[in-house]
């Protein structure tokens, strides 16, 4: 029902950490010459993973993952929203994001393994939680990711972020610690293990990051600190004044991002009949 004359749409499933089966949408141009550049799209916190037909129309074989807890991947793990951010947050071994992170990296491996995808031309993109997962994948697959774009990245400097905002999802941490103040030390340890800030020194690919300077969801202070820690020499920050969590998407950042990927991954856009 979702495929069109230009784009083929597949529901995909792959195995991940703890034996869980994870779902995703895979879209690719119906007609193409040779191997396709690949794109991993990773989702935000509350949104369901998008059906990435728009990226397939741009010429990318695109995988849009639904990590555990998202619909279609939540039969064995379903902390809900709110819930995921603080699920087992006082134990770094069982914290909810542990498996969730693996799901994102496994999604990348799944895309790399598809025969029609050129493993030398794969990008990663997402906003908010998707921005965090983009940075994570670029950190843990530095020899594979060719280009990455992270918007309004979440899950970095998490305790600091929670002290800077009263907006959800970080407000979940404030809610949790208000009820369980005695657990703060354990929470700090678990979050340190999962803080994206602590991964990004490994990134080597070209990368762009966009942030909103009035973002009350993912405070820009954490975005600046994260950007400084990124290991890649080919990195660029786009800070947008008077923008919130939209981080410039309403005033022209998306074309910048599209050009960034097109120059590095060389897709052939699909022509409409």
Partner 1 sequence: MTAKTPSSELNSAFESYWKLVDDESAAISKGKAELEEIKIRSNESSTVYACRFAGVGGYPLFAYYSVPKGKGPFPGLLETPGYGSVRGVPGVERRAKYAVMAVCHRGQRLSDSGYKSAYPGLMTEGLPDAGSFRWRDIVADSLRSFDVMLARPEVDRARIGIAGNDVAAICAALRPQTKVLLFNGQFLFRDTPRRLDAISDYPLQEFNDFKRTHPSQWPKASETLQLYDPVSFAPKIKAETLIACLKSDVAPSAPFASAIKGKCETRVNSGYGYLDHESQEHWLQDRLGA
Nearer to partner 1, 88 or 167 (CB): 167
Does 180 participate in catalysis according to the annotation? no
Cα–Cα distance measured from residue 153 to residue 145, given in angstroms and rounded to the nearest whole number: 18
Buried-state track 152-182, b at ≥16 Cβ within 10 A, e below 16: bbbbbbbbbbbebbeebbbebbeebbeeeee
**Active-site hit among 90, 103, 215, 246:** 215
Strand partners, 40: 63, 124
- Show the site string, 181-200: x = touches partner 1 by CB under 8 A, - = not: --------------------
**Can residue 224 be called a binding residue for partner 1 (CB under 8 A)?**
no
Reading phi first (left if > 0) and then psi (alpha if -120 to 50, else beta), residue 51 is in beta
One of 13, 214, 236, 259 touching partner 1 (CB under 8 A): 214
Cα–Cα distances in angstroms (integers) from residue 199 to residues 39, 88, 99, 155, in the given order: 21, 21, 16, 11
**Can residue 2 be called a binding residue for partner 1 (CB under 8 A)?**
yes
**Can residue 50 be called a binding residue for partner 1 (CB under 8 A)?**
yes
**Can residue 1 be called a binding residue for partner 1 (CB under 8 A)?**
yes
Does 215 participate in catalysis according to the annotation? yes
**Can residue 143 be called a binding residue for partner 1 (CB under 8 A)?**
no
Cα–Cα distance measured from residue 143 to residue 145, given in angstroms and rounded to the nearest whole number: 6
Q: Cα 165 from chain centroid?
A: 21
Does 128 participate in catalysis according to the annotation? yes
**Active-site hit among 128, 139, 149, 157:** 128
- Which of the residues are catalytic? 128, 215, 245
Site residues (vs partner 1, CB under 8 A):
1-2, 4, 46-48, 50-51, 53-54, 57, 71, 80-82, 166-168, 171, 174-176, 178-179, 212, 214-216, 240-247, 250-252
């Amino acid at each position: 029902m979702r495929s069109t004359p230009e784009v083929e749409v597949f529901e995909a499933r792959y195995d991940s950490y703890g034996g869980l089966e994870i779902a995703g949408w895979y879209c690719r141009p119906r007609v193409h010459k040779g191997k396709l550049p690949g794109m991993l799209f990773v989702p935000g916190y509350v949104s369901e993973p998008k059906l990435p037909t728009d990226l397939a129309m741009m010429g990318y074989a695109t995988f849009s993952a639904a990590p555990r807890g998202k619909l279609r991947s939540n039969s064995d793990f379903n902390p809900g929203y709110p819930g995921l951010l603080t699920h087992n947050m006082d134990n770094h071994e069982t914290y909810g994001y542990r498996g969730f992170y693996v799901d994102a990296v496994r999604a990348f491996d799944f895309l790399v393994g598809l025969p029609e995808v050129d493993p030398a031309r794969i990008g990663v993109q997402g906003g908010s939680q998707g921005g965090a997962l983009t940075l994570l994948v670029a950190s843990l697959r530095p020899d594979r990711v060719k280009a990455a774009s992270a918007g309004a990245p979440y899950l970095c400097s998490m305790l600091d972020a929670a002290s800077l905002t009263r907006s959800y999802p970080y407000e979940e941490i404030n809610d949790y610690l208000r009820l369980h103040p005695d657990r703060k030390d354990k929470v700090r340890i678990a979050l340190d293990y999962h803080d994206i800030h602590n991964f990004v020194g490994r990134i080597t690919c070209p990368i762009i990051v966009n942030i909103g300077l009035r973002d009350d969801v993912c405070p820009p202070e954490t975005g600046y600190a994260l950007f400084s820690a990124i290991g890649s020499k080919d990195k660029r920050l786009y800070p947008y004044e008077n923008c919130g969590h939209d981080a410039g998407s309403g005033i022209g950042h998306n074309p910048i991002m599209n050009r960034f990927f097109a120059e590095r991954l060389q897709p052939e856009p699909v022509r409409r009949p």
